[in-house]
Amino acid sequence: MLAAAGIVSETGKNSVIADIDYWLAERNDWIFGHLNYNLKNQLFKGFNSDQKATIPFPEFYFFQPEVVCTIQNATLSIHSATSNPDDIFNQIQSMPASYTIPVQQTAHFIPGISKETYCNIIEQLLQHIHRGDCYEINYCQEWIAPNAQIDPFAAYRVLSKVSPAPFGAFYKLQHLYLLCSSPERYLLKKGNRLFSSPIKGTIARNTNIPAIDEALKQNLLQSAKERSENVMIVDLVRNDFSRICKAGTVSVTELFGIYTYPQVHQMISTITGQLKNNLTFTEILKATFPMGSMTGAPKERVMQLTEQYECFNRGLYAGSVGYFTPEKDFDFNVVIRSLQYDTQQQLLSYAVGSGITAGSVPEQEYEECLLKASAMAALFNTRPGYPVTTAE
């Protein structure tokens, strides 16, 4: 576990992405922050998002924290640029051992588009695929809860129990919150090695009958559609890596791995490569962002189609949250399976998507979106898109 709090210095609220390289070079410390999906507008020519994001996270933001705590092998380590770690440890010990969840969490979710509209748009996207405009496009939709009254930390605690994930995060920037239960890694840098693990391929679990659950895993592994969808994104990420990695070093270390989570089985592959010398973080982003699993292929064309057909601004959804170590290594997730909350507007939002290929059936894609959203809706005891008020 990794936690950071307080701000020594920050960048991103009113900056361009190229500024991050100079800012990072001046700091040999832990750095935390995010990359908004709309950062693509700075990384690619000709992109401009007309719609405003429901939850207005800036295009990117990074901060050098006052305190960093790590827990590994049952050992707590405390790092601070401004305080005595012993004092921080004493403060931690003085905190209550338990946290009382507020009596009521209230949210009335409204789907951004109807099922009929969704299916009609998928039919139009299939026409683009059949014309050869693209091979795969990740189409997303949003649910919004106005006048939402929740305790973000309490909701995240429930989310992390309902849907534990290796790349989850509780992230706060002033009055904006991200409650993230992501199973997907965007980029990991270790020394001169770069790794990415795109997810493409999902099937619902049957947790009541182990034999059926195992059969579902095998169905996912053997699915021609899911394997085709996965390998398209693997090829896209390999191509992205080839622009910034040394020739002959890019390889697929795992193809079609099946991983099990509380609600679903997922198909995950991993690509790695050896970085060229003296690359900046911005150069790495220009080659790889946004994550290919959240765009489709070819990346630039499908991002144009996304701007044309999606009925909301993705904002931080499909972007990334992560950190840099003092050694300049980094690890960033893909922001999926997440809630975003604005305490000033009392707005709560979540979004989900699926990869559309030539073999896609609109009704099935819609059901996949509902499946992925089920962990979010479970926080409020409802099916995705249906209003609810619940007492915990």
Beta-strand pair 60-64/31-35: antiparallel
Task: Give, in order, the Cα–Cα distances in Å from 106 to each of 146, 346, 391.
Answer: 10, 11, 8
Q: Which of 2, 346, 3, 343 is nearest to 174 (CA)?
A: 343
d(CA 275, CA 327): 16
Contact of 375 with 263, CB cutoff 8 Å: yes
Catalytic residue (choose from 200, 226, 310, 368): 200
Q: Supply the angle between the helices 224-242 and 210-222 in degrees, to the nearest 10.
A: 60
- For 244, the token pair is 């910034």
Task: Give, in order, the Cα–Cα distances in Å from 355 to each of 123, 129, 244, 296.
Answer: 13, 12, 26, 7
* Single-letter code of the amino acid located at 157: R
Q: Is there a catalytic annotation at residue 200?
A: yes
User: What totals of helices (H) and strands (E) does the chain contain, helices first?
Assistant: 10, 22
Contact of 179 with 338, CB cutoff 8 Å: yes
Q: Is there a catalytic annotation at residue 283?
A: no
Contact of 187 with 238, CB cutoff 8 Å: no
Beta bridge partners of 4: 68
d(CA 263, CA 355): 19
Longest dimension (CA), the chain: 64
d(CA 129, CA 126): 5
Task: Give, in order, the Cα–Cα distances in Å from 203 to each of 214, 216, 369, 372.
Answer: 11, 7, 11, 10
Catalytic residue (choose from 59, 136, 184, 310): 184
Contact of 7 with 65, CB cutoff 8 Å: yes
- Residues with active-site annotation: 184, 200
